Chains A and B, each alone.
Chain A
Amino acid sequence: MATLCKNCGHALIFNPASQKLECDACGSAFRPDEIEAQSRDYRQDLEAEAANEVYGTKDQNLMDCYVYLCSECGGEIIINGTEASTTCVYCGNPNVVFSRISKQKRPDYVMPFSITKDRAIAIVKHEMSKGIFIPKEIKNFSVDCCRGIYIPYWIVNAEYADTLVIKGRVKSGKNSVTKYYGRAGKLSLSKLPLDASRALSDESSSKLEPYNLSHLKPFDEDYLAGFYSNVSDVTFGEVRRATYNRAQDFYREAAMESIKGASSKAVHTSNATIKVDPDMSYAMLPAWFITFNYKGKHNTVLVNGDTGKVVCALPWKKALFYTLLIVTGIVITVLSFFIFKATLPFFFERRSSSSNNDSSGKLIGLLVMGIIALFTTGIRKVVRVIKNIRLTQDKAIFNFMKKRQG
């Protein structure tokens, strides 16, 4: 059901730029809190019906499909099991499935979009223009689809305790030895947002963070007008597990930071417990999903609808990358060859004369270690980019965004 204009009866759409509900037909604008909840009690009882029941079939493909009727034109709107707001494919009007956000399922808060669709696309193009390895076709991409989606989040408070033992290498005279560091304590988490949609991977949603939670407003259906939204479909166990993982990361990070003068730090043993406050808050946070096609693959770029943070990894100009890598490699090799040729005899002479044997050997060892470190750091960064490109081209995130009406 859409919220209708008081003046002309046309469906209202929330405009992030003005933070008001606007009518395309007569140009009227209203603050969401100004709109009377007319017939809301009636509307919240309207249920989306299972598609198989409506059509009298047992089609497996329709298992997660529900039928809802557009309040404007009466057209059938097909939604999935977790959608709370969508757009009518026939008349283009926004529709909110009130039964999914009413009573116990009603979110506590909503963070209205503050970034408009045009601004989101402009931010993405600006970010892409800075990349030297981003192909021109991507820099001048044409938007295949751009959708503003409210993602459901649980905002939790928790207390975490851990008895952590970290091992690290410390210098002891000429050698380095393994030493152990104990950090037993507690961590309190306050207002940690956790993605409550199974369809969207935690990896993607966590990268949209941080959200500025001071921008949260008490929930009002009118903020959903013109945007898509999903409702929570995770279990209490999944929320607890996600909280545990985040708390563990934060605690370990703090513990590692508190240890000075040790290298190669790694967790040796851990004994962690967590208590999640059952009084969780349910909120809807905004994100823009922008897709474009590149070489037959769908790429989905995410933009935080509040802060404008862009999340994506893009295919790179492989020919340019490898050419520059090899040419620079050859240039540095030639230059360093002359330097090594001039300096190595000095090291080897010192090695043969017994007095400074150790220090020369150490320098050579250090050089070999340095070379290995350069390779591993560089390769690790390339692997990270490749992994994130796969996430941007992931079918699950594309389906989460694309498989919606309108």
Chain B
Amino acid sequence: MISVFAFLFATGFGFGMSCWIFGTLLDKSNNIGDSTGGRHDYHTNVHFLYVKDKMSQRDAQTFAQNSKVMVTQGAAPSSASLARKLSPEEIEAYAQKTLRDQNGGASGPVKDARATGVFKSTNTIYDDEAEFAEWEQKNAGAATASPFRKLDTRD
């Protein structure tokens, strides 16, 4: 019994070892230059913002949801168009569009004007009496009656 086990183990080990030795030798002998440019060749800078080790599966799910790191794609030429060198004007236009998109854009989220303090409304509310009088005078010739004008009570 021991001899049978010894034979099986020896055969496995012998041919496994031989396979590994000659596989490695063949790779070194006949596979020339089988490597690509690595991350150290291209000055890649990796910066981990959130690191957590030895988590459970539940914690891993929470990590994936709560520690999201993303970059905004930004405006770019159409994927289907042939790659070409863009002119400085085009690059500037894409940069501007990206900026616009990041700030909400035409269809983006509306920011609270009062919170940002940069919003200038054309529908100004006049708190000052003098200002209101000036406004009334300016709009006196308007076709529609001002809600602030005195009603004409003549018959």
Q: How many A residues touch B, CB cutoff 8 Å?
A: 119
Bound complex: CA A238 to CA B91 (Å):
19
Query: Which residues of chain B are within 8 angstroms of A371 by Cβ–Cβ distance?
Result: 9, 12-13, 16
- Pairwise interchain contact B5-A316, C-beta atoms closer than 8 A: no
Residue B99 lies at the interface, judged by CB distance under 8 Å to chain A: no
- Pairwise interchain contact B30-A238, C-beta atoms closer than 8 A: no
Query: Which residues of chain A are within 8 angstroms of B46 by Cβ–Cβ distance?
Result: 185-187, 250-251, 254-255
Bound complex: CA A258 to CA B49 (Å):
13
Residue A209 lies at the interface, judged by CB distance under 8 Å to chain B: yes
Candidate in A210, A239, A247, A348 with the most chain B CB atoms within 10 angstroms: A210
Bound complex: CA A321 to CA B91 (Å):
57
- Pairwise interchain contact A236-B79, C-beta atoms closer than 8 A: yes
Chain B nearest CB, measured from A193 CB (Å): 8
Chain B: CB-nearest residue to A208 = B33
- Pairwise interchain contact B85-A332, C-beta atoms closer than 8 A: no
Please tell me which one of the listed residues A184, A191, A206, A232 contacts residue B36 in the complex, with CB atoms under 8 A apart: A206
Bound complex: CA A106 to CA B87 (Å):
12
Bound complex: CA A336 to CA B64 (Å):
49
Chain A nearest CB, measured from B74 CB (Å): 6
Q: Tell whether A184 pairs with B55 under 8 Å between CB atoms, given A131-B30, A209-B41, A313-B34.
A: no
Q: Is the interface of B mostly helix, strand, loop or mixed?
A: mixed
Query: Which residues of chain A are within 8 angstroms of B2 by Cβ–Cβ distance?
Result: 341, 344-345, 348
Chain B nearest CB, measured from A382 CB (Å): 5
Interface residues on B, range: 35 or more
Chain B nearest CB, measured from A52 CB (Å): 22
- Pairwise interchain contact A273-B70, C-beta atoms closer than 8 A: yes
Query: Which residues of chain B are within 8 angstroms of A381 by Cβ–Cβ distance?
Result: 23-24, 26-27
Give the contact stretch, choosing among A71-79, A84-92, A158-166: A158-166
Q: Tell whether A329 pairs with B15 under 8 Å between CB atoms, given A278-B77, A312-B33.
A: yes
- Pairwise interchain contact A384-B27, C-beta atoms closer than 8 A: yes
Please tell me which one of the listed residues B12, B22, B34, B79 contacts residue A325 in the complex, with CB atoms under 8 A apart: B22
Query: Which residues of chain A are within 8 angstroms of B70 by Cβ–Cβ distance?
Result: 161, 271, 273
Q: Tell whether A185 pairs with B27 under 8 Å between CB atoms, given A196-B83, A206-B37, A344-B2.
A: no
- Interface code B72-88, partner A: CB below 8 Å = 1, 0 otherwise? 11101111111111110
- Pairwise interchain contact A388-B31, C-beta atoms closer than 8 A: yes
Query: Which residues of chain A are within 8 angstroms of B32 by Cβ–Cβ distance?
Result: 127-128, 131, 310-314
Interface residues in A358-406 by Cβ distance below 8 A to B read 367-368, 370-375, 377-382, 384-385, 388-389
Given contacts A187-B46, A279-B91, A336-B9, 20 further A-B contacts (CB under 8 A): A128-B32, A130-B29, A134-B29, A163-B50, A187-B45, A189-B44, A207-B34, A235-B82, A240-B79, A249-B39, A311-B34, A313-B31, A321-B26, A328-B18, A330-B14, A370-B16, A371-B12, A374-B13, A378-B19, A385-B31
Q: Could you show 10 A-B contacts with beta carbons less than 8 Å apart?
A: A131-B32, A134-B29, A134-B30, A161-B69, A163-B69, A183-B48, A236-B76, A274-B73, A278-B94, A309-B33
A interface residues with partner B (beta carbon < 8 Å):
104-106, 108, 127-128, 130-134, 154, 159-163, 165, 167, 170, 178-193, 196, 206-207, 209-211, 232-240, 247, 249-251, 253-255, 258-259, 268-269, 271, 273-276, 278-282, 302, 309-316, 321, 324-326, 328-337, 339-341, 344-345, 348, 367-368, 370-375, 377-382, 384-385, 388-389
